[in-house]
A and B are shown apart, each in its own frame.
Chain A
Amino acid sequence: MGAWDDLDGVGPTGIDEAIFEDVLTGALDPLDMPPAVRAVSALIDKARQPATSEELAARTTTVPAFALVAQAEQTSAGRRRKSASVLRFPVRVMAIATPVALLGVGVAAATDSLPSSTQAAVSHVLSHVGISVPDPQAHAIVGEPSHASTSASVPSGNGAVAVSGGAVPVPTASRSSNGGLRGSRAVPPPLSSGPTHPAGNAAVACTSLSGNAADGANPPTLDGCSQVADTGGSGVLSGGGLAQAGNTTVTWRAGGTISFRYTSTVPQAKGDQCPADPTSPGNKETEVVLRGSALSPGNGSLRAKVCITSTLDVTLLPGTSFKL
């Protein structure tokens, strides 16, 4: 019998502040509490039980992202910027992309190079934590091999600053100093071989987009494109797909190409207009607004609203078109 058990029946009014404090802080085992608060003490004890594996399941995605953001912020000390889109970007997308990035660490460590699909995913994640990373697939267009440096450079007003060795899976990253997401300055834009915009500078609108932003075997593909004589009605986007800020090149079925530098933002004012995400029950696909300007040839712009699933499948926001 405990010290309090002979006081069974004493009402709550007999409980003083110190005991209440013990109840709240769990300073005592419920068995050592007065009977009047033993029940609630047991419940509170239960509420305070150690973390379960389910509660720590996000560790594999959150911890690397946390470390990456902390390091980037540390490196850009004095020029911190508010990146609201980072904080609002659904973690479920990051949850898909980050393991891919982690996989890339091992690959990079072993072979000193990151696979382009991994790089695309890493780039996608980092573009939403305020860092734009060039995509090796963009180099592949002009015949350059994928490369990997295990350091990241972050322009901080005084020029690029080396960030790290080895631990961070970021090849040659650059960070916007004005707070916006944008294309990388660290790598020259891709040059297409014989850049041609269909019908000169006339705009092209495509009514369909399909494919995956991180799957090189199933790249984002435009269909239902106008200016059929020049575009062939469709085109394939290379350079890492649409889920990142950076450069992309459209290769038309008819043979021409056009390269763009673009940025991606998550709309805030109207909220997410995308449909339900079939790969993530209970969630919507993530809407991303793409804006860009042509690099080669130098006229033209890019505007599109894209919906992205948790597995990085991309489609156009229903009722919109991909305008080039």
Chain B
Amino acid sequence: MTSRSFGYRGYTAIEDFQRVLEEARAGSEWAAAVIFDALQAPLLRYLRWQEPSAADDLAGETWLAVAERLGKFEGGEDALRAWLFSVARRRIAEYRRRGARRRTRPVAPEDLAGVPGGHDPSELVVETLSAQQAIDHVTASLNPDQAEVVVLRIVAGLSVEEVAHVLGKRPGTVRVIQHRALRRLAQLRVADAPTRQGR
């Protein structure tokens, strides 16, 4: 049960994925743990970005839904990752249809002081941000379509083709959306953007 560096910096990939998958299908807890450890953080970050108040429950539902259909799954780790986020996205849609929670949630005024998005981006101190706060900053200036494409690329680590599959769009459309998003993001300034001299 080991993992190695993944192409996307910061994440790990599952070593000997097919064996892990087979063991997970058979109900092996260690194999389930390997998959969980590799994908839980991006899943939770995506869900918290989408539905902060229900993210933990939605993550649990997503994992159980995946477990229930794991026997039918075929593919490699990238395919599993894309499938996981497809399931998560359906859970979010279902959750919103149920109307159990509103898309937005009321926040007490005093809580806003700690929200990084309330500050001028030029005052941001990247080192102090959590992953979730960084996601919020990255997506703050984007429209919903752009934001979801970017989050699925940077958080979920999906390719353009996988994002297109998850969102039900054509890859070309996703490329256009992501290009516009990045041109907008390129205007973002952060006070402590790393420099050779400053590090």
Residues of A at the B interface (CB closer than 8 Å) are: 1-2, 5, 12, 15, 17, 20, 23-27, 29-31, 35-40, 42-52, 55-56, 58-59, 61-74, 77, 80, 83, 86-88, 90-92, 94-95, 129, 164, 167-168, 271-272, 282
| Contact, CB under 8 Å: B178 / A45 | no
How far is it, in angstroms, between the C-alpha of A87 and the C-alpha of B188 when the chains are bound? 40
Contact of A51 among B33, B40, B59, B71 (CB under 8 A): B40
| Contact, CB under 8 Å: A40 / B186 | yes
| Contact, CB under 8 Å: A48 / B131 | yes
Residues of B within 8 A of A27 (CB): 7, 9
Residues of A within 8 A of B196 (CB): 1-2, 5, 31
| Contact, CB under 8 Å: B7 / A43 | no
B12, B45, B57: most-surrounded residue (chain A CB, <10 A):
B57
A24, A29, A50: most-surrounded residue (chain B CB, <10 A):
A24
Quick one: which of B19-40 are within 8 Å of A by CB?
A: 24-29, 31-33, 35-37, 40
How far is it, in angstroms, between the C-alpha of A25 and the C-alpha of B10 when the chains are bound? 10
| Contact, CB under 8 Å: A67 / B32 | yes
Interface residues on chain B, size class: 35 or more
| Contact, CB under 8 Å: A42 / B194 | yes
Contact with A along B80-99 (1 / 0, CB 8 A): 00000000000100000011
Residues of B within 8 A of A95 (CB): 60
Question: Separation in Å of the B75 CB from the closest CB of chain A?
Answer: 16
How far is it, in angstroms, between the C-alpha of A64 and the C-alpha of B24 when the chains are bound? 11
| Contact, CB under 8 Å: B138 / A47 | yes
How far is it, in angstroms, between the C-alpha of A69 and the C-alpha of B24 when the chains are bound? 10
Residues of B within 8 A of A58 (CB): 40, 56, 59-60
Q: Choose, from B107-115, B147-155, B165-173, the stretch at the interface.
A: B147-155
Question: Separation in Å of the B175 CB from the closest CB of chain A?
Answer: 8
Q: Knowing A5-B196, A56-B37, A271-B100 touch, does A43 contact B27 (C-beta < 8 A)?
A: no
Residues of B within 8 A of A30 (CB): 193-194
| Contact, CB under 8 Å: A70 / B129 | no
Residues of A within 8 A of B199 (CB): 31
| Contact, CB under 8 Å: A17 / B179 | yes
| Contact, CB under 8 Å: A43 / B63 | no
Contact of A44 among B25, B154, B194 (CB under 8 A): B154
How far is it, in angstroms, between the C-alpha of A74 and the C-alpha of B195 when the chains are bound? 53
How far is it, in angstroms, between the C-alpha of A260 and the C-alpha of B27 when the chains are bound? 33
